[in-house]
Amino acid sequence: MPAEPTTQELRALVAEFEPEKGHVLPALHKVQEQYGYISRKAIEIVARQLNTTPALIYGAVSFYSDFRTHPPAATEISWCSGPACRLLGGDRIREAMQQTLELPLGGQSGDHRYGLHLGQCNGTCSEAPQVWVNGKVTGNLTVASAIRLAREVKGAE
């Protein structure tokens, strides 16, 4: 897990951004790209940099599904919730993966090794049904192959 960024590092990282210029999302993206998530401290620093309140910045962070307030797991599985995937068994795949990983959507294992998310269709519907494993499409799944994938990710205990 990456170390919690220091105030100084964060200030330097967002120094280029200005108030009233549409810089809230770019600043938050930059923080998340650098550290993998947006910490409480980062929210405060971005707010100060953009001359606004932490409440408004947190409001933005919590509104968008891409922003995380905790570090990501080593292996992130995004489950495609889209229609093509759904029509080809996607929801049963979700049930089976949640059961196997013992996680709800949006959950992460206690040891931060793996997490499961709801993802949106990116138009690779020819590969439906699918999940993205750390951003890479794993498509044409069956429920059985999804269970095997989840078991592999989970590993022996």
Binding-site ranges for ligand FES (CB under 6 A): 80, 82-85, 121-122, 124-125, 128, 130
CA-based angle 36:37:42, to the nearest 5? 125
As a whole number of angstroms, the distance between CA 129 and CA 119 comes to: 12
H or E stretch at 94: helix 90-101
Distinct helix (H) and strand (E) counts, the chain: 7, 4
How far does CA 81 lie from the centroid of its chain?
Answer: 14
User: By CB under 8 A, is residue 69 in contact with other proteins?
Assistant: no
Considering only residues 121 to 140 of the shown chain, the ones binding other proteins according to CB under 8 A are 121-128, 137, 139
Interacting partner of 105 out of ligand FES, other proteins, none (Cβ under 5 to 8 A depending on kind): none
State the nearest-atom distance from the C-beta of 131 to ligand FES, in Å.
9
Contact residues: other proteins, CB under 8 A: 20, 22-26, 28-29, 50, 52, 56, 59-60, 63-67, 81-84, 86-89, 91-93, 95-96, 99-100, 118-128, 137, 139, 142-144, 147-148, 150
